[in-house]
Amino acid sequence: MNSVPAPATVSGEPGIESSMIRFVIAWALLFIVLAATLPPAGAQSGELHVELNRLEERGDGCRVHLVLENTSPHAYTSYQLDLVIFSSDGVISRRLALETAPLRANKTMVKEFELAGLSCKGVGRILLNDILACASDAGEMDDCVTTTRVSSRATVALVK
């Protein structure tokens, strides 16, 4: 007589081991599916890259050219930078609030501003001290400094 082997048992209860295996496999598959559908780190809110592109002597002042790259899916309705301008000897020359919005979603834009009465040769570095206002079409945003990258192509550093 052919006998069929009894199902696997733990503590005398049939099928517990196979149920546990199915449970673990189901959770593993669920984890894989959820991980595959999440956007990469930083992509949920996106990132804004602020590049100091160029300083240009203009009459009695200095024109500053910034390139802002918004990689987020949201348009910024407010993005106000708190900038501190240091002289070439490291002393604070000026502090200003610069509203750069509107910034469209997934778009690179150029913004310019004047430093009246300050020669470009006198600018040693520019500090992104804070983001004073930060809002998108999705509403107010928290801690925009963290999601902002800075760089410089100019001879002057842009730091945060």
Q: How many angstroms separate the CA atoms of 61 and 110, rounded?
A: 19
Distance (Å, whole) CA 130 – CA 133: 9
> Which pLDDT band, with edges at 50, 70 and 90, does 142 fall under?
confident
pTM: predicted TM-score of the whole model, two decimal places: 0.71
In contact, 24 and 31? CB cutoff 8 Å: no
34-60 residue pLDDT tens: 444 444 443 345 789 999 999 999 999
The per-residue pLDDT of the chain, averaged, comes to 84
Residue ranges covered by each domain of the chain = 1-38, 48-159
In this prediction, residue 144 has a pLDDT band, given cuts at 50, 70 and 90, of very high
Q: Does an H or E element contain 33, and which?
A: helix 16-37
Tokens of 141: 């945003």
For 48-159, CATH gives: 2.60.40
pLDDT tens for 91-129 read 999 999 999 999 999 999 999 999 999 999 999 999 999
Residue 48 pairs in a beta bridge with 70, 148
**114 to each of 43, 104, 119, how far by Cα in Å?**
33, 23, 10
